[in-house]
Structure 1
Amino acid sequence: MTIEEPSKSSESVAFTHEAPRRNCFVRQRYVLASLGFMGYFLIGCLRNCINITVLSMVRWNNTETNVTDAVNSTVGKSEGFDWSSDQEGLFLGSYFYGYICTSILGGWLGNKFGFPIVFGLPVFISALLSIATPIAAYTSFPLVIACRVVIGLVQGLAVSAYQCCWSSWAPPLERSILNSIALSGVPFGIGFVYPFAGYVSETLGWEAVFYILGGVTVGWSVVWILIVSDSPRTNRCITAAEVAYIENSIGFTLKDMQSQDVPWGAIMKSRSVWAIFVAHFCDNWSGYTFNAILPTFMSKIFNFNVFQSGAVMTAPYIAQFGVSILAGYITDAARKRKWIRTSVARKVNTIIALSFLNIFMITACYCATDSTTAVVLFGVGVALRGCIFSAHLSSLVDIAPMYAGVIFGISNTIASIPGFLGPLTAGFVIPDKTSISQWQTMFWINGAFGFFGSIFFFCFGSGVERNWAKKKVSEEETEINLKQKSAHSDDEC
């Protein structure tokens, strides 16, 4: 398939401003995906940096925490906040108390008022709160908890709002790669922030972690506001050819999307939507729980210290970033060449991400005598989870492109529940952290969720746009749109 600019169709494109348009050779939809990657990267960093900084923030007590002398000497803590174990747990989990409350609202606001402001402004606010976190921590414990809760609230808005962008920016056959580029910022951020936060905490102090990450995020927010527009037609750098290609491929504009009422009833009755909800919940159960318990598993079973356990988490998430981009590219290439239908592609990626992750994890927990083999298996399993961004997380744009943000908001709210329940379940199942049989039981529980989610999505998932999600237009408009789409079906930018 050759790539050509639809010159004829671009002649009729009318823009909403009179600024001279540059002949930009960079496709702006990929600029948007790249900026989204950086946004998600920074969100991941601001969310997870406390998992490392807490080691320097809290005053360690050997008799209470069972931290080894070697680890204590590395952490070097004779000072810190005198927080109890319960307070420390509240601090680590406070983000999700806010995050779970605003996902649905974020999707709706992004759909109504445009994703640029609903994504950019909350991330900017979370950056300011990150900078204020050390001040809040030194002031009072309730204040730093409130700070983390509000960061969760605003980032919950942002994460759901961003999904609205693909409704007006992503050609149907490029949704996998565009969504993968953006969402892969999260695992890349997790892989980056562990060694970064550890190094900065040791050299500059834990406060510097929040100042640096917050400052970089403020800078990103400024770039985001200056560059990003809510639709191709209002972008100042995009070519007319790219606008025509995107709009002809999608079949509706941002104005069309904002004029439609959200079909809440149809969304909640759709089997395809519930397939996404179930797969998202089961994926997050496995992902959140493994992320929370793997360092402890490495510490108690293989006697890794805190920093070795954190290092084990770094490489797999960086690999997951690479797998997500590769999976997105291969998926869209196969779809363009009609080697595989969109529905099948989404299901295959979901099975790889959910089932294969747990197969490798379960196998690894039976290698308690060989830490090298276990670490390799863990790494492969976490890396393969990168296929998830070309799976059900792209399916929501396939089945309801105009309401992707709303559906993602609902799904993300449901899928945030494992952030609480997974680690809580692990606490009940593994009272003795040195018992390999108890760890194996927990890994099988995680596997059950992963296998069930992949099977459910295989049975009920889809990659075909639903009738209730299509634009409501008159018969005359429908006929005109079909003729225009047919005339430019071979054009690609």
Structure 2
Amino acid sequence: MSTGPDVKATVGDISNDGNLNMAQEECSRKGFCSVRHGLALILQLCNFSIYTQQMNLSIAIPAMVNNTAPPSQPNASTEWPSTDSQDYWNETLKEFKAMAPAYDWSPEIQGIILSSLNYGSFLAPIPSGYVAGIFGAKYVVGAGLFISSFLTLFIPLAANAGVALLIVLRIVQGIAQVMVLTGQYSIWVKWAPPLERSQLTTIAGSGSMLGSFIVLLVGGLLCQTIGWPYVFYIFGGIGCACCLLWFPLIYDDPVNHPFISAAEKRYIVCSLAQQSGILSALPFVVGCICIILGGLLADFLLSRKILRLITIRKLFTAIGVLFPSVILVSLPWVRSSHSMTMTFLVLSSAISSFCESGALVNFLDIAPRYTGFLKGLLQVFAHIAGAISPTAAGFFISQDSEFGWRNVFLLSAAVNISGLVFYLIFGRADVQDWAKEQTFTHL
């Protein structure tokens, strides 16, 4: 027999579901013409700016340390008649190039300058996320974007002033960029309906890939034509222009947004009022704890010489892949039990965290000299997976609404196990020959 509170809860759920369905029907007509999708596009531009600012020094530094002239152009008189406008343009380009100095930096100094962007970054994510939760992501992300963009404009001046100032500037810039990359996820807590969370976050995250593509495409051309300082001026200016969109148009909460329609506001608020926040966060909380415990266990086994390093890496990876894959494949058969589903999801997140002490840290063992590059390569594949997986999931679900998720989990398990087999066969834990430091003997 239902009690009074149970009846009230049931009525409330029906009312919320009714409002949600009505608002969803009204908002579905708008498609991508909504404030939340506009927010995703602005965040896409922010990520575009941040990633171009992360990579611009890597593109410009060959021109900064080499004072070689660009390849000579074909003789215009043999192909095309010379014109005054062409001569003027050529002279202008020469003037721009003359303003770009070259520096006598050794390879070691270049490596320190390039890696200095990450010196403070590993300390910044946790306080950035905390501050974003307290003061609002709008100001944390906006401040980080402005600081990074503003400092990008001053990189040519800092390079002229000296290596020490350039390194300090890059450290501060790296912390500011982490503020953008981590703080933006606090925005989606109040803006992304559960059914659109993957869509909105991937739209915003795609700016990172676009930024990497554009800066690689045009960065070298800018250095060759008008000089390397303009790589920083242009992409720093784009970031500053993005700030002009960010502060007046972005709000932490749809309730306080002045331009959002009543229907969209009601849809977002009702969709987020289903009391799923704690349940959604629970697997990540348990996973965070298990990552620490897994690391302690791995170090204990290694320090006591119970297992060899390669055995620890492969064992932890196998545990972190096999058991979560079995759990994911089993999920469609326990969907009738809400508590069992949550238990399986928590177990999957907890056990998969063992990979952090396995394959995901293995690059430190095999190539400590190139850890920054290998970590960046790992992040590239992570972004690619993040871009492909929502699309693949949407395809399977649209083909078969009943068994779509089962196919998604089966495909995920197949990919995981294939990667595990490859790692178990080819994985190593000793420093590779190509990654060893070259030593010179002085006679």
TM-score category of the 2 structures, normalised to the smaller one: 0.5 to 0.7
Cα drift, residue 190 of structure 1: 1.2
Task: State yes or no: 1:121 paired with 2:143.
Answer: yes
Distance in 2, matches of 1:430 and 1:72, equals 34
Alignment match of 2:33 (pick from 26, 37, 56) = 26
Alignment match of 1:146 (pick from 158, 165, 168) = 168
Q: Is the 8 A contact 2:145 2:239 kept in 1?
A: yes
Distance in 2, matches of 1:147 and 1:247, equals 41
Distance in 1, matches of 2:159 and 2:171, equals 13
Task: State yes or no: 1:292 paired with 2:313.
Answer: no
Pair 108,97 (structure 1): closer, same or farther in 2 beyond 3 Å: same
Query: In the alignment, what sits opposite 1:166?
Result: 188
Query: In the alignment, what sits opposite 1:18?
Result: none
Q: Is the 8 A contact 2:19 2:270 kept in 1?
A: no
Cα drift, residue 153 of structure 1: 0.9
Task: State yes or no: 1:41 paired with 2:83.
Answer: no
Q: Residue type matched to 1:36 in 2?
A: L
Question: What secondary structure, in the 3-state scheme, does the structure 2 residue paired with 1:100 have?
Answer: helix
**Deviations 1:387-412 (Å, cap 9, x if unpaired)?**
xxxxxxxxxxxxxxxxxxxxxxxxxx
Pair 349,57 (structure 1): closer, same or farther in 2 beyond 3 Å: farther
Aligned positions of 1:344-493 closer than 5 A:
345=408, 348=411, 352=415, 429=435
Task: State yes or no: 1:331 paired with 2:393.
Answer: yes
Distance in 2, matches of 1:338 and 1:140, equals 63
Q: Is the 8 A contact 1:128 1:218 kept in 2?
A: yes
Distance in 2, matches of 1:8 and 1:128, equals 45
Q: Is the 8 A contact 1:45 1:213 kept in 2?
A: yes
Q: Is the 8 A contact 1:6 1:241 kept in 2?
A: no
Aligned positions of 1:88-127 closer than 5 A:
88-127=110-149
**Moved segments of 4+, more than 2 Å:** 4-10, 71-79, 263-286, 288-294, 319-342, 344-360, 424-432
Distance in 1, matches of 2:216 and 2:373, equals 13
Pair 238,185 (structure 1): closer, same or farther in 2 beyond 3 Å: same
Q: Is the 8 A contact 1:33 1:178 kept in 2?
A: yes
Q: Residue type matched to 2:435 in 1?
A: V
* Higher alpha-carbon Rg: 2
Query: In the alignment, what sits opposite 1:268?
Result: 289
**Deviations 1:246-286 (Å, cap 9, x if unpaired)?**
22222279xx99xx9xx979952576655676668966988
Q: Residue type matched to 1:210 in 2?
A: F
Identity %: 24
Q: Is the 8 A contact 1:187 1:320 kept in 2?
A: no
Query: In the alignment, what sits opposite 1:189?
Result: 211
Distance in 2, matches of 1:276 and 1:72, equals 53
Alignment match of 1:84 (pick from 106, 111, 118) = 106
Distance in 2, matches of 1:40 and 1:278, equals 30
Query: In the alignment, what sits opposite 2:234?
Result: 212
Pair 39,101 (structure 1): closer, same or farther in 2 beyond 3 Å: same
Q: Residue type matched to 1:132 in 2?
A: F
Query: In the alignment, what sits opposite 1:373?
Result: none
Distance in 2, matches of 1:354 and 1:225, equals 45
Pair 217,348 (structure 1): closer, same or farther in 2 beyond 3 Å: farther
Using the size of structure 2 for normalisation, the TM-score is 0.59
Q: Residue type matched to 1:331 in 2?
A: A
Q: Residue type matched to 1:292 in 2?
A: F
Query: Which sections of structure 2, spanning at least 5 residues, go unmatched?
Result: 1-17, 25-29, 73-96, 291-345, 439-443
Q: Residue type matched to 2:250 in 1?
A: V
Cα drift, residue 93 of structure 1: 0.6
**RMSD of the alignment, in Å?**
4.7
Q: Is the 8 A contact 1:123 1:221 kept in 2?
A: yes
Question: What secondary structure, in the 3-state scheme, does the structure 2 residue paired with 1:80 have?
Answer: coil
Q: Is the 8 A contact 1:59 1:83 kept in 2?
A: no
Distance in 1, matches of 2:416 and 2:435, equals 25
Cα drift, residue 230 of structure 1: 0.5
Cα drift, residue 324 of structure 1: 5.5
Cα drift, residue 82 of structure 1: 0.7
